[in-house]
Amino acid sequence: MDAKEIGLKEREVKPIVDHLNDLLANYHIHYQKLRGCHWNVKGGHFFTLHVKFEELYSNAQQTIDDLAERILTLGKPPYSTFSDYIKVSSLQEINTVGMNDTDMVLAIMDDFTKLIDMERELMVLTDAAGDDGTNDLVNSFMQFKEKNNWMLRSFCGKN
Ligand SMILES: [Fe+2]
């Protein structure tokens, strides 16, 4: 498929797709981090956080699929191997075994901040290209993390 077929300019779509693929790679690292937190969380907040991390990784899983399918909609292949994800992602893996529960929440909040930065950068490009479809999608991902950042911040007792 050609970007022209959906009313977009190939030249402008290329950097959008590259950024979407970057975001996809980062999201895979984020997703697995959430799974690790879900599995390894311990202590008095176990029941709360075990469920919360599941909600967040389920959302991340859906986001990953939406990102990959948006890339395909724009006519390009999404990264689909873990070697690509690890190579491309700026988010780093963490070892969640023995990790304090608040540190887990802080690590997820840190991922949120970085992912939101990437999404804001992406939305500058989608705005300029008139790619409202990608813009709308990425905006919804961002709003989910903004809201959850508030909840996790409140959980940690931060202002
Ligand atoms: Fe589970």
Q: What is the pLDDT along the chain (159 residues), one digit of tens a residue?
A: 677 777 788 888 999 999 999 999 999 999 999 999 999 999 999 999 999 999 999 999 999 999 999 999 999 999 999 999 999 999 999 999 999 999 999 999 999 999 999 999 999 999 999 999 999 999 999 999 999 999 999 999 987
Cα 57 to averaged position of ligand 1 atoms, centre (Å) = 10
Q: How close is the Cα of 38 to the center of ligand 1, in Å? A: 7
Task: Please list the alpha-helical segments (H only) found in 3-100.
Answer: 10-40, 46-73, 82-88
106 CB-contact burial (10 Å; exposed 0-12 / middle 13-18 / buried 19+) = middle
Question: Thinking of the domain 8-155, which architecture would CATH place it in?
Answer: Up-down Bundle (1.20)
Instruction: Tell me the whole-structure pTM to 2 decimals.
Output: 0.95
The residue type found at 6 is: I
Q: Ligand 1: distance of its center to the CA of 61 in Å? A: 14
Please report, for the chain, the start and end positions of each structural domain, with discontinuous segments joined by +.
8-155
Distance 18 CA to ligand 1 centre (A): 32
Q: What angle do CA 140, 146, 148 make, to 5 degrees?
A: 105
